[in-house]
Chains A and B, each alone.
Chain A
Amino acid sequence: MSSEEKGVSRRSVLLGAGAAAGALGLGGGYVASLGDRSDMETPHSLENFLNENKVVHGYCSPNCRGKCQMDVYVRDGQIQKVEPKVPENEAYKRSCTLGLSHTQRAYNPTRLKYPMKRTDWEPGNPNTTGRGEDAEFEQISWGEALDYVADEMRRVRQEYSPQSVYFEQGSGSDTIGGTTFGRLAGAFGGTMKSWSIDINVGLGFRRITGAGYFNTPTNQATDIENANTIVIWGGNIFESRFQQDASKVLNAKENGAKIVVVDPVYNTTTAKADLWLPVKPGKDGHLAMSMINVAFEEDYLDREFLRERTLGPALVKEDGSLLKTGEIFDDGDDETPVAYDEAAGEPVPLEPETYGEYALFGEYEVDGMTVTTGLTKVREAAADYSPEKMANYVGVQAENIRQTVRWLGTRGPGGILTGLGVDRYVYGHIFGQAYAILLAMLGQYGQRGCVTGGITQGGYFASDYGAIEGAPGARYLQQKGILEALEGGTDHPIKAMYAMCSNFTANQMPDRQRWLKALENVDMVAVADIQHTPNVQYADIVLPASHWFEREDITGTWTQPHVRYRGAAHDPLWESKHDNWMLVRLAERLGYGEHFERDRETLMRKILEAETRFTFDELREKGTIFIEDSPEIIWQGEFNTPSGRLELYDEDAPSEKGNSLEVPVPLESRTRDDYPTADEYPLTFLQKHSRWRIHSQFGHMPWMRRIHPEPTLDIHPKDARRRDIEDGDYVRVYNDRGEAVVKAKYNKGYRPGLVNIDQGWWSDDYIQGHHNDLTHLDVSEAIENFAFYDVRVEVEAAPDDIDTSMYTNPKKADWLGESTTGGEN
C-alpha cells in the first residue's frame, strides 16, 4: 500500500491548521483553526500514539564508525521518529544527535527525486566547463540515465582502457551497495581509489605493532572503563566520536581514571580532563619524544614486557640494521633478530613471546661487530627531547609532561586514545610510531584496561561474495594518484567516472579548485546520492539514491562488535532507488548481468552464505547479533610484525626528507615557525570535525542548523582584535590558493595563532569560497596522507560589498510547509 493512500484522515489530524486552512482559502492562524476544530480531534487529548507505531529495525551508517542500531517508528507509512535501539549486547546501546535526526534526513528538502541530466551535456559533446554552481539539470528516466552511463563507460573502455573508468566509492555509507560496486568495478577492470585520508598515524603505528590503518586498534570498547589513565591525543571524543565512546570514557573517569587531553584547543573533551597539554599544532611527535625521554629518565620501563614482547633487546649493528641469527649462528636465518642474554653472557635468538634475561641497554661485541640494543637507539633518539628543553617549543609545561608519563607509568593499565587530529599533519605518521614505542616501553599492550589507540574492536559477518572469479580486478590508486589520473598525467587517464556515497571532488578533497579543474578532463561524471550535494552539482548524470531507512541492508562495524540488519520503513520516495538496483542494471547493460543479483534479499542471503554463526533470518528477526568472538583484549600473542615483536626499532623504516626513521625523528611542515610563508600567513588552519556533521553529511537538518546556522571561523579574541575583527563580523580567510568568507566567532579555547572552520560545510553554505580552497596536496613520502590541518592562512575583515543576506536576512525557503511524500517536485 502506498504511503499516500493509507491514512489520509490521520494525516489531516496531524496537519492541523495547514491543510484545512488551505481548503478554507484562508491563511492559517486563529480564524482557520477555529474552522477546523471540528475536523481535528481535540488537540490535547493525548492519544495513545505509541501503540499505533510500527517499529522497524534500523541503523545509521555514515562514516563515523558507530553504525548505531536504531528503532525506526513508522506510522501511516511515514517515519515519525527514531530512537536508539538496545542491541544484543546492551552495553552498546547508543546513538548520537545526528542519528536521532534521521526523520529529517529521510524527508529532507535537498533529497534528489528523479534521475537528471545536465542540460548542456551530451555524449560526444560533454561541455565539461559547463559543470558547476550554475549548471542546470533536466529530468530523465532511469532507463535513459543508465543507458548514458553504460554507453559512456563502454566508449571510454574502447577508446582508452577499462582503467580509464573511475568507480569512486566514498565513505558516505556502509551498505551492501558498496559490495556490489566493488564487484562491478572489478568485473569491469576499472579504477578504484585507496585512501589518502586518516591513515597517517595508523600506518606509522603499524610499523611498530603490525596493525593500524585508519587510526589504531585497541581493546573492545567496554574495556575502556577499566583504564586507569587515558591520554586522549588529537581526538575530540566528546564531539566527534561520542556515540560509542563518550559513556565509556566517562565511566572510566567515574571509576577513578585520570584523563589527560593533548590538544591545541580547549573543547568539550578538554573540559572533562584532569590535565590538559595544550600542544602547539604539529608538534605532537616532539611531545611524544619528550614523553619517551621522561619514561627513560624517571624509569617507568616495564622491563619484563620489553624483554618478552619487543625489539628493545634486539641488537642493532652500526649500519643501522638488526643483527640476525643467520649472521652468527649456523642454524640461523636472516629474519630472526638477536638479543644479548645477560644471564648466559651470550647472544641468543630473539623469538616472539619469549622471555629471557636479555640486556636492554649497553654496547656489545658480537663476532667482531659492535652492536647496541634497540632500546638504546630509542633512548639516544629521545635524548634531546627532555621536557625542560621542549616545553617552550611544544607549548606544554615540563612538569605536566612528566606528570602524564608518571601516571601512565605508575597507575597500572591505561594508555593513549588517539583521534584523527594528528593524522592531518604531513608527518603525522612519525607520531604514530613514537607513541607506539612509548606504550611499548610502559608495557601497555595486551591487558585489561590498556588503551593503545582509537579503534575499538568491531564485528563483521563472514562473506565470500566479492570479486567475480576470473575478473580482471580494479586498479587501485591512492587518492593523490587519482588526481593525477584525472589530470591526465598517467598511463590510463580517467575519462569517465561514477561516484557513489561520495562528496569528494567538489567538497571534501584538499586544494578543491585543482580537483574541479581536473574534472574538466572527464567526459562523463555520474553521481549517485541521496541528497543534492556539491558533488551532485558537478555531475552530468544524477542518480537519486534512496534513504537508508528505505532499503533493507546488513552491515558489521569496525568499532563495536555487532552485526546488524535494517528493514525498509517504506518504499523509496519519488523515483529514488537503492544503489544495488542502479548498479545491477548498469552491470546488465555492460554485459555482466549474470554475476549480479537484482533481488535485494537474495543478494543479502548470498552475501551471508559463508557465515556460520547465524543465519540471515535470525539476523533479520533480531535486528542485531553480538559477535562473541570479537576479542575483548587484543595484542595477545605474537604481533603481526616480521619479528613477531613490537618493533620499536624498525630496520625497514622509510625515509622522510632524508631522515631515516628507524627510530622516530619528528618532522614538521607548515607548522614550523620558520616556514617560508609564516610571515605572510601567520595563522595555522584547522578544519575540525564538529558534532554537527559526519564529514559533509547531516548538514542540512533543519533541527540542528538552528543551533549552528552557518560556517564560522573560531578565532582567539587576541588574534581577532589585532585585525580589527569583532565577534560576529564577517571575515575573509585566505592564502595563495583560495579563500573562504565566514562569520568570525570569538573562541578563547583556540591557541592564539590557530584558527578553525569546521569541515563538512557544503559549497552552497558559504557566502563565498570554501575551506578546501585553502588546503593543499602536499603529503609525506612514506604515507601520502592528505594534511588538511597543516595549512597556513591569514584572516581579514570581509569586504563591505559581500552579500551576507543568506544568513543576515534569509528569505523564506520554498520547501517550508511542503509535504514531502508524493511525486511532485
Chain B
Amino acid sequence: MSDETPQRTIRGVGTMGKAWLAILAILFVVGFGAWVYQLMEGLIVTGMNNVFAWALYIMLFVFFVGLSAGGLIISSVPKFFHSDRYDSIAALGVLVSFACIVVAGLLVVPDIGRPERLYEFFTSPDFRSPMVWDFGIVIVYGAFTAGYLWLLTRRDLAAMGSRLAFGVKDTEAGRERDRRISFWFAAAAIPLAVALHSITGWIFALQIGRGDWFSPLVAPMFIMKALVSGLGLVIVTAILADRYTTFELPREQVPELGKVLGVFVAVHIVYLVGAERLPGAWAENFGFWDITTGFLVGETVYFWLWTVVGGVLPLALLVIPSIRKRVWAVFAASVFAIAGILFEGVNLIFVGYTDLYIDAAPGVTTGRGYVAMGSDIWATVGAYTPTVVELLISIGLIALGALIVTLGLWYLPVQSGEVLAPPASDTPDSDATVANGGADSDAD
C-alpha cells in the first residue's frame, strides 16, 4: 500500500477552473430554459416534421450511447483478462461512461411529445418494442456504471475520509475483496455494453419502414462505433485530465491506446462499413466502375465526414508508429474519430428519413407550417435543419455531461493510489507523466 493518501484529482479550482465551471453551468441553465420553452410551445420549435421525424436529439442520443461504451470497455476488458495495465485510467473511463450514459438518457427526454407520460414505460410496456429494452438497458447501464465507479473509488474515498465512501472502510482485505468484485463487474460489463449498443442499434435495424436501416449489420456496427468513439473519448479525456488536473496518464499508454483505437477504426470503417455497403452496391449496379462507385460513394455529405474525417485521417495518424508515438497525433486522431462517429449517427438518421418508399406527388404532409391559404405543407423528400432551441438544449445536456466529469474529477479520487507511484504534488516527474504543470495550485 502506498504511503500516499489518495486525493481528489482536482484539488482546487483556479480561475481557469472557475471559468470552465461557470461556462458549463451557464450552458446548462440556458439549455434548461430552452427545454422549458419547448415544453410550453411544443415540438414545433424544433426543425422536425412528419417526414423527418427524429433528428438532433436522437442523433446525439446514438452518439452518446456510443461514447459511453469506451470508458467501460477500457476499464473492464483488461480487468477481465486479469491485467492491471490500464487500472490507472479505469475509474476515469467509468466516470466518462457514466456521464455519457446520463447525457444520452436525458437527450431522449426533449424528443418526447408528452414527457409527463414517461412513467408508462413501467405501467404498460410492450416488450416487442426495442425502445422498451433500450429504456431498460440505459437505466441498468447507468446504475451499473455508477456502481462500478463507486466500487473502484470507494476504498480511496474511505481513505480520504470522504462522505462518499458511505461507511466503507479502507482495509487491505476490503481492497482485496473489491479487486475480486471488480473482476465480476468487469465480466458483467462486457455483455452489458454489448447489450446496450446492440439494442440501441436494433431500434433502427429492425425497421422495414426505413429501408436503409433494415440490415443485420447495424447492431455490430453500433458496437464497433461505440468502441471507436468511446475509446477516443477516454483518450481525449485522459490527455486533457492529465494536462489540467492531477490525473496522470502513463506516457507509454498513449501509443498503445492509439494502436487499439487504430484497430477499432480499421475494423469499423474499413471492414464493417465496406461489408455493409458491398451487397447493395453490387446488386444495384451493372458495370464494374458503377459497382465500385456505388460501393465507395455515399449518399450524403455526412458519409464523407464520417469515413474520411472519422476514418482516413485517424488511420493516417495511427498506422505509422513514429507518428503514433506523439501525444498530439493520438489526441488528434481520437478527436477525428469521435467526430466521424458523430457524423455516422447523423448519416444514419438522414439516410432513414430522406427518401420515401412511396413519394408520388404531392407527397407526405409535413405536420407543420399551415399559416395561410397559400401554405405548402407537402414534402416528397425529408429535409432538416436544427433550430436554435434544439441546439441549446443539446448543448446544455452535453455541458451537463462535462459537468459530471468535472465534478467527478473534483470529488472522486479517480486515480487509484496503488498505481500511482510518484506523488503528483510539488515536483512532478516529467518522465512519468504526460504533461507537466499537471497540478493546479491548491487553493485549500
Contacts and interface: CB of A to CB of B under 8 A. Distances in A.
Interface residues of A, number: 22
Nearest to B113: A30
A710 B375 CA distance: 9
Contact of A30 (B114, B370, B373, B378): B114
Interface in B365-407: 365, 370-378
Given A707-B362, A709-B376, A27 B41 contact: yes
B174 interface: no
Interface string B336-373: 00000000000000000000000000100100001111
A109 to B, nearest CB: 9
A811 interface: yes
B40 A29 contact: yes
Contacts of B373: 700, 702, 705, 709, 810, 813
Nearest to A699: B373
B372 A31 contact: no
Interface in A799-820: 806-807, 810-813, 816
Majority secondary structure of chain A interface residues (helix, strand, loop or mixed): loop
Interface string B31-44: 00000000111100
A700 B374 CA distance: 10
A34 interface: yes
Contacts of B116: 30, 34
Given A706-B370, A707-B362, A27 B375 contact: no
A524 B370 CA distance: 40
A810 B40 contact: no
Interface string A103-123: 000000000000000000000
Nearest to A812: B371
B42 A812 contact: no
Interface string A781-825: 000000000000000000000000011001111001000000000
Contacts of A14: none
Interface in B91-145: 114, 116
A30 B365 CA distance: 22
Contact of B39 (A31, A709, A806, A810): A31
Which of B39, B42, B362 lies at the interface centre, i.e. has the most chain A CB atoms within 10 A of its CB?
B42
Given A810-B375, A813-B371, A30 B362 contact: no
Interface string B220-259: 0000000000000000000000000000000000000000
Given A30-B114, A706-B377, A813 B41 contact: no
A610 interface: no
A320 interface: no
Contacts of A706: 365, 370, 375-378
A63 to B, nearest CB: 23
B360 to A, nearest CB: 14
A710 B365 CA distance: 17
A26 interface: yes
B42 A813 contact: no
Given A707-B362, A709-B376, A28 B42 contact: yes
Interface string A693-712: 00000001010011101100
Given A34-B116, A707-B362, A29 B374 contact: no
Contacts of B378: 706
Interface in B190-231: none
Given A29-B42, A31-B39, A709 B374 contact: yes
A34 B114 CA distance: 10
Contacts of A813: 371-373
Nearest to A815: B372
Contacts of A707: 362
Contact of B372 (A28, A32, A811): A811
A271 to B, nearest CB: 14
Contacts of A710: 374
A29 B39 contact: yes
B144 to A, nearest CB: 32
A813 B369 CA distance: 12
Contacts of B371: 810-813, 816
A34 B115 CA distance: 11
Contacts of B377: 706
B416 to A, nearest CB: 46
A700 B372 CA distance: 10
B42 A806 contact: no
A812 B41 contact: no
B372 A29 contact: no
A34 B41 CA distance: 13
Contacts of B372: 810-813, 816
B307 to A, nearest CB: 33
B422 to A, nearest CB: 56
Which of A28, A31, A706 lies at the interface centre, i.e. has the most chain B CB atoms within 10 A of its CB?
A706
Nearest to B42: A29
A31 B374 contact: no
A812 B373 CA distance: 9
Nearest to A109: B373
B208 to A, nearest CB: 28
B37 to A, nearest CB: 10
A30 B374 CA distance: 28
Contacts of A702: 370, 373
A30 B376 contact: no
Contacts of A26: 40
Nearest to B44: A29
B354 to A, nearest CB: 20
Contacts of A29: 39-42
Nearest to A37: B116
A762 to B, nearest CB: 10
B375 to A, nearest CB: 6
A28 B45 CA distance: 13
Interface in A677-731: 700, 702, 705-707, 709-710
Nearest to B365: A706
Contacts of B362: 707
Contacts of B375: 706, 709, 810
A727 to B, nearest CB: 11
Which of B114, B116, B373, B375 lies at the interface centre, i.e. has the most chain A CB atoms within 10 A of its CB?
B373
A543 to B, nearest CB: 25
A791 to B, nearest CB: 26
A126 B396 CA distance: 66
Contacts of B40: 26-27, 29-32
A807 B369 CA distance: 12
Nearest to A34: B116
A707 B377 CA distance: 9
A32 B41 CA distance: 9
Nearest to B375: A810
A27 B114 CA distance: 16
A732 B372 CA distance: 24
A521 B368 CA distance: 48
A34 B117 CA distance: 11
A9 B349 CA distance: 45
A26 B36 CA distance: 13
Interface string A21-50: 000001111111010000000000000000
A30 B112 CA distance: 11
Interface in A245-290: none
A107 to B, nearest CB: 15
Nearest to B373: A705
What are the 3 closest A-B residue pairs judged by CB atoms, nearest first?
A813-B372, A29-B42, A810-B372
Given A709-B376, A810-B375, A812-B371, 8 more contacts: A27-B41, A30-B42, A32-B40, A705-B373, A706-B370, A706-B376, A807-B376, A810-B372
Interface of B: 39-42, 114, 116, 362, 365, 370-378
6 contacts: A27-B40, A28-B42, A31-B39, A810-B371, A812-B371, A813-B373
Interface of A: 26-32, 34, 700, 702, 705-707, 709-710, 806-807, 810-813, 816
